[in-house]
Amino acid sequence: MLEITRIRSEKEAIIEGLKKRHFDAKPIIDDILTKDESWRSLKSNMESILSEMNASAKNIGLLMKDGKKEEAEKAKSEVSKLKDQEAKLKSQVDELEKEILQLMYLLPNVPNELVKAGKNELDNETVYEWGKTPNYNFEAMPHWDLAKKFDLIDFELGVKVTGAGFPFYKGKGAKLQRALITFFLSEAEKSGYTEYLSPHVVNEASGIGTGQLPDKEGQMYQIPIDGLYMIPTAEVPLTNIYRDVILPSEDFSIKMTGYTPCFRREAGSYGKDVRGLNRLHQFDKVEIVRIEHPSNTAKALEEMLEHVKGLLEKLGLQYRILRLCGGDTGFASAMTYDFEVYSAAQQKWLEVSSVSRFDTFQANRLKLRFKTADKKTQLVHTLNGSALALPRILASLLENHQTKDGIIIPEVLRPFTGFDKID
């Protein structure tokens, strides 16, 4: 959520910035500012009445003490009138507050200056490429065929037990999955991230804190009887650790990592894009989250990109990095880099990581702040990224490292898998 003070003072810049998303913010912002103005004047009215009431109450107390009962009774009846006025004003103020908040929720984050204007994924910029496409001298199989051939993943069993998009991993498939998780966590630890094993369901306040709620609840699996939500990413529990926190000094840099399953309802996707592991309702992911001083955000983002690059290179997977255009950048993000791995067998790029800086957008909702040197409170910056999402990594690993007689496990994973080949 953008800060109301910023909307007041940088109205034009925000409208301009949001044009890069093809988002017309002007009517919303105008509406907000009009409501904000009447909110302020009503509120100031209300508060002066409250002030009067407080003074009278105090006075009545003194009169009672002095035994001046009649005067006290008279004062009481006068206060009652104020009370009615106050109640009327309060309901108006509350109503306006609610309306303003609803409008604020509609405004996405303002894109960073590096972000290009654009409508959709076609306008994304490729900023980095690494690796070569494998040259198969045989008919390369897509991962769903490989998974079947080597009995690594059972999609039908998932359908039987749960539903589509909830696969079972079996045997070496399950082990490979577990090895990847451990590998990613140990790499994150080497880069200075503290590991957390978090709850996999969260309450409403947490959903609001990271922006899934109030309007994207349809993307999450819900447990209404307990008011809980299955997490769509570890970002939610990890970032919410710091909800309503004021860090005591400017000197901080919080680096967290965590493995969790991620649950996504993802309604409305069909066809070959969702084939196999390409899109699931439940998948595993290792996430990295950072909470930074605003002056350190650019550097932190750079470090996160380097970290993810390292992972993909160690796994020997050809990849490219895209800087998303305005229209393709997530609602809360100021700038996002997507990592895509090339799947030669499917002949397409698969998104395996998304690294974003949110600046104060999440911190504002989270009320996550720090104390400046001169004792002021200021919002922190948050960042996060996948490092990495498992299914498509598994898919490209199987596809890109397949040979005629089996799948070669990358060197770095062997200590974790305990085998070097699937055949």
Partner RNA sequence: GGAGAAAUGGCAGAGUGGUCGAUUGCACCGGUCUUGAAAACCGGCGUACCGCGAGGUACCGGGGGUUCGAAUCCCUCUUUCUCCGCCA
Q: How far is the CB of 332 from RNA (least distance, A)?
A: 20
Nearer to RNA, 40 or 348 (CB): 40
Nearer to RNA, 52 or 123 (CB): 52
Is there a contact between 125 and 116 (Cβ–Cβ < 8 Å)? yes
d(CA 325, CA 123): 6
Binding site for RNA (CB under 7 A): 4-5, 40, 43-44, 47-48, 50-51, 53-58, 60-61, 64, 76, 79-80, 83, 246, 369, 371, 375, 377
Q: How far is the CB of 364 from RNA (least distance, A)?
A: 10
Q: How far is the CB of 36 from RNA (least distance, A)?
A: 7
Q: How far is the CB of 14 from RNA (least distance, A)?
A: 17
Tokens standing for 251?
């000197």
d(CA 67, CA 194): 65
Q: How far is the CB of 57 from RNA (least distance, A)?
A: 3
Tokens standing for 48?
């002066």
How many angstroms separate the most distant Cα atoms in the chain?
A: 104
Integer angstrom CA distances of residue 163 from 85, 173, 279, 282: 57, 20, 13, 10
Nearer to RNA, 79 or 344 (CB): 79
Nearer to RNA, 369 or 401 (CB): 369
Give the side-chain half-sphere CA count within 13 A for 343.
23
Nearer to RNA, 60 or 345 (CB): 60
Q: How far is the CB of 62 from RNA (least distance, A)?
A: 7
d(CA 94, CA 98): 6
Q: Which amino acid is at 298?
A: A
Q: How far is the CB of 161 from RNA (least distance, A)?
A: 21
d(CA 173, CA 167): 11
Nearer to RNA, 22 or 90 (CB): 90
Tokens standing for 104?
């604020």
Nearer to RNA, 293 or 392 (CB): 293
Integer angstrom CA distances of residue 120 from 20, 124, 324, 325, 358: 11, 7, 9, 7, 19
11: phi then psi, degrees, rounded to nearest 5: -45, -55
Tokens standing for 414?
């062997």
